[in-house]
Amino acid sequence: MPGRSSAARHASNFALTIAPFAGLVVLWWLSRLTGLIKPSLLPSPLQVLTTFWATLVHGTLVTNVLVSVGRVLSGLLLGTAAAVPVGFLVGWYRPIRRLFDPLINFFRALPPIALIPLVIVYLGIGEVAKVAILFYASFFAAVIVMYEGMAAISPIYVRVARTLGATDLEIFWRVMVPLTVPHMLVALRVALGVCWATLVAAELVAAQQGLGAMIQNASAFFDLNTIYVGIISIGVLALLMDTILRRLTDRLLSWQDKVGA
């Protein structure tokens, strides 16, 4: 039956998604039980779960999650919004690409954490400084995807459009922009991952709240349970947001043929 077949497919997909995480938890537990890692250096999954529940009930975890998500979304949206037009310019005009490609790759190679002292000097230690670090990380991650995607588009589309009498502006809006929508969405996903990876560095800037601040404060007291809670929370939130973006991408690009669907 179609309904039963669909339910079985969803159950199978869910099982495949959960299986690797279940395997990691089993490996984690075995590492502790076998003494492969000293118990004092590796809390059990149950201890971490207990700490998670305590911070959740107390409200500390929810506050830190909301603060970190707000920072990540601010840096992501601002960085990607700036990266898209820059990516279009660099990808569309070859002289601009030759001029700015080395500069973009130079700054892309600089880790955001190395810029923290300068960010503090110029922007202080408030929210602007934290968002600026995430903006920096997301911008250079997204702009690379954008202009490489633009440069990889087959010129046959432009030639056909010119043959049909399209102007440069019409080619840009009716040919290049639709063709780069997939690259925009990929750039957004890549920038999202980079933002979450940079979050702890961004919250080094005198943050009192946030998952990165929670991890740093816990490390000062060697509170491994809370450190694990913070790390797992970042991973879960990043996975959840990436899943939402992936579903949105599949819906918007349902017209594309995909290998291994």
- pLDDT tens profile 157-176: 778 888 888 777 777 778 77
Q: pTM score > 0.85 for this model?
A: no
**Which single residue is written with the structure tokens 């432009």?**
158
Return the higher-pLDDT residue of 220 and 74. Answer: 74
Segment 7-59, tens digit of pLDDT: 667 667 777 778 888 888 888 888 888 877 787 788 888 999 999 999 999 88
Which residue type is seen at 183? H
260 has pLDDT over 60: no
How far is 72 from 241, CA to CA, in rounded Å? Answer: 11
Segment 95-119, tens digit of pLDDT: 888 888 888 888 888 888 888 888 8
228 has pLDDT over 80: yes
Contacts of 246 (CB under 8 A, 6+ apart): 189
CB atoms within 10 A of CB 180: 23
Pair of tokens at residue 156 = 């046959």
The pLDDT value given to residue 7? 66
Q: If you average pLDDT over every residue of the chain, what do you get? A: 83
How far is 244 from 96, CA to CA, in rounded Å? Answer: 34
Cβ proximity of 201 and 133 under 8 Å: yes
Question: CA dist 70 to 3, 150, 205, Å?
Answer: 39, 30, 16
How far is 154 from 101, CA to CA, in rounded Å? Answer: 20
Question: CA dist 251 to 98, 184, 245, Å?
Answer: 35, 14, 10
CATH of domain 45-252: 1.10.3720.10
The pLDDT value given to residue 6? 64
How far is 93 from 176, CA to CA, in rounded Å? Answer: 12
Q: Where are the alpha helices (DSSP H) in the chain?
A: 2-33, 45-58, 60-92, 94-108, 116-123, 127-152, 156-163, 168-171, 177-202, 211-220, 224-252
